[in-house]
Amino acid sequence: MRILITGASGMLGSALAFELSKKHQVFATGRSDFVTHLKYKSFDLSNSNYKPLVEWSNPQIIIHCAAITDAEFCEANSLEAIKINALSVKKLIQYVNEKVKIIYISSDAVFNLINNKSKEKDYTNPNNVYGKTKEIGEFFMLNSSRSNVIIVRTTIVGINFYRRGNSLVEWIISSVNSKRTITLFNDVIFNPISIWDLIKELDFLINCETIDFKILHVSGNQNCSKYFFGVELLKALKLNLDYIQEGSIKDNIKIANRRRDQSIDCSLYQKKFNRKLPSIKGTIDSIKKNFRNEKRY
Ligand SMILES: NC(=O)c1ccc[n+]([C@@H]2O[C@H](COP(=O)([O-])OP(=O)(O)OC[C@H]3O[C@@H](n4cnc5c(N)ncnc54)[C@H](OP(=O)(O)O)[C@@H]3O)[C@@H](O)[C@H]2O)c1
């Protein structure tokens, strides 16, 4: 199958393009120039004309991973964030024919402070600009008359091997390696999935003939605190635990309005598609398996 992957210079997109290229014809795109053996086109999604991208890739499937993921940058640059995280979805839908399956990677950030274990049908009401832009992206998918559009909400953890990133895992590892003490909250809960396990689920969804759901929650099947996750990750990678400090979000006034329970309920996906999503241990094992102890971390 011909698959267009956006955000292919990013953490999820680069690993996804690499894995799917083993079985499919992958056309990868990101904003920056990116050295890869894959077919790659640098394309800024803020462009008004997507014809060059669509004509180059002529996709049967699009997996839309591109986004501005830096929540603080989104707060300060909301118009740019809307263009990339939301309007790009509208343009992709406009530019490709009805037969093209589109999978939009969305986030638990579409839910608000008081939601927890949110289900697909639950009301979204994000409390930051990043979440709002992802919610608007979802709006374009939900309001499309197409039957083959899928929103995958997830909470990914992983490493960008192609260039330095600032994801949770990379931040924990780089802090410990540079002997910098960091605080992880014992009262912020999430249910992460590794990018490599999510890729397996995306590969499964690509091959599903019909999907009767427009929104699916696909993440880990177990919750834990960020502190627990950090400690278990360092233990698994045999890294020093001395630089991880346990803290509470309540003591951090600056980010006090951040969501404490970021977990999303993935039971619908597991039940309807007979899939078993990973536990916390499974997610950490997957990071360990894929971890390369490169100096840059
Ligand atoms: N990371 C998380 O914790 C998390 C959690 C839940 C959901 N998600 C969702 O998962 C997806 C992948 O996240 P990620 O962590 O892999 O992201 P990432 O590492 O920050 O990568 C973002 C990608 O988007 C591209 N991009 C940004 N602005 C662009 C523009 N103007 N034109 C074209 N491409 C542009 C970037 O290209 P350049 O780098 O080349 O500029 C990069 O390839 C996103 O949709 C995100 O919302 C992420």
Nearest alpha carbon, ligand 1 atom 2: 156
Q: Which pLDDT tens digit goes with each residue over 123-165?
A: 999 989 999 999 999 999 999 999 899 999 999 999 988 777 7
Classify residue 179: in a domain, yes or no: no
Classify residue 288: in a domain, yes or no: no
Residue 12 has pLDDT above 50, yes or no: yes
Residue 257 has pLDDT above 90, yes or no: no
Residue whose CB lies within 8 A of the most ligand 1 atoms, among 12, 27, 73, for a mutation test: 12
Q: Which pLDDT tens digit goes with each residue over 152-206?
A: 999 999 998 877 778 999 999 999 999 999 999 999 999 999 999 999 999 999 9
Cβ-in-10-Å burial (0-12, 13-18, 19+) of 49 comes to exposed
Classify residue 284: in a domain, yes or no: no
pTM above 0.75, yes or no: yes
Q: How far apart are CA 162 and CA 122, in angstroms?
A: 36
How does residue 32 score in pLDDT terms, banded at 50, 70 and 90?
very high
CA of 30 to the centre of ligand 1 (A): 9
Q: Give how many domains the chain has, as a whole number.
A: 1
Q: Could you tell me the CA-to-CA distances from 293 to 66, 174, 290, 296 in Å, in that order? A: 26, 11, 10, 8
Residue 295 has pLDDT above 60, yes or no: no
Ligand 1 nearest-atom number relative to CA 64: 45
Nearest alpha carbon, ligand 1 atom 23: 7
Of 30-44, 48-62, 252-266, least confident by mean pLDDT is 252-266
Torsion angle of alpha carbons 178, 183, 185, 189, nearest 10°? -10
Ligand 1 nearest-atom number relative to CA 13: 16
Buried residues in 72-103 as b, exposed as e (16+ CB within 10 A): eebeeeeeebbbbbbbbbbbbbeebeeebbbb
Q: What is the number of residues in the chain?
A: 297
- Is the separation of the CB atoms in 109 and 130 below 8 Å? yes
**Greatest CA span in the chain, whole angstroms?**
54
Q: How far apart are CA 113 and CA 125, in angstroms?
A: 9
Over residues 238-260, mean pLDDT: 83
Give the 3-state secondary structure of residue 171. Answer: helix
Classify residue 130: in a domain, yes or no: yes
Over residues 12-33, mean pLDDT: 96
Ligand 1 nearest-atom number relative to CA 69: 20
Q: How far apart are CA 265 and CA 263, in angstroms?
A: 7
Winning range, highest mean pLDDT, from 46-55, 106-115, 121-130 = 46-55
CA of 40 to the centre of ligand 1 (A): 16
- Is the separation of the CB atoms in 62 and 96 below 8 Å? yes
CA of 106 to the centre of ligand 1 (A): 11
Residue whose CB lies within 8 A of the most ligand 1 atoms, among 19, 69, 88, 215, for a mutation test: 69
183 forms beta bridges with 245
CA of 270 to the centre of ligand 1 (A): 26
In the chain, what is the straight-line distance between the N-terminal and C-terminal CA atoms, in Å? 35
The DSSP result for 82-146, as a single string, is HIIIIIHHHHHHHHS-TT-EEEEEEEGGGS-TT--SB-TTSPP--SSHHHHHHHHHHHHHHTSS-
Given this model, what pLDDT does residue 256 score?
Answer: 47
Classify residue 108: in a domain, yes or no: yes
For residue 113, what are the domain limits? 2-165+191-221+263-279
| CATH number of the domain encompassing residue 84 | 3.40.50.720
Classify residue 286: in a domain, yes or no: no
Ligand 1 nearest-atom number relative to CA 104: 45
Given this model, what pLDDT does residue 115 score?
Answer: 67
Classify residue 246: in a domain, yes or no: no
Classify residue 62: in a domain, yes or no: yes
Q: Which pLDDT tens digit goes with each residue over 111-122?
A: 987 767 899 999
